Amino acid sequence: MIGTTPVSNAAIGQAFKRALERLGYDATWWTPYWLRHSFVTYSLEALDESEVAMLAGHSVQVSRSQYQHPDDETLYRKSAGVRGKLVKARKEKYTV
C-alpha cells in the first residue's frame, strides 16, 4: 500500500522491471514471481522444509508440490553424499 491505496500486481511488476534495467540486467523474463519461486526452490536445498514454508508463508505441502524440483547438479551432489556415506558404512562394517 502507498498510504491507503493498494499497489497493483502490475505496478509491482513494472517497478521490479525498471529496477532490474537500472542495474543493467535484461528484465525480459524476470518477474517478482520468478524471484520468489527461485528463492523458495534454492532455500529448500539448504533449509528445513518447515523453515522454508514459514518464510514463504504457506504449508510444507505447498513447498513440496510447487517448488521442490532439484536440477541435475543438485541430484548428483546429494546422491554423491549418500554414496559416500554408504561406502564409509561398508568399510566400517567389514574392516577389522
Per-residue pLDDT reduced to its tens digit, 19-60: 999 999 988 888 998 888 888 888 888 888 899 899 988 888
CA distance linking residue 17 with residue 26, whole number of Å: 9
Contact 44, 63 (CB under 8 A): yes
Where are the domains positioned within the chain?
1-30, 31-94
Q: Can you tell me the distance from the alpha carbon of 52 to that of 56, in angstroms, rounded to the nearest whole number?
A: 6
Q: Could you tell me the pTM of the whole model? A: 0.58
pLDDT band at 10 (very low <50, low <70, confident <90, very high): very high
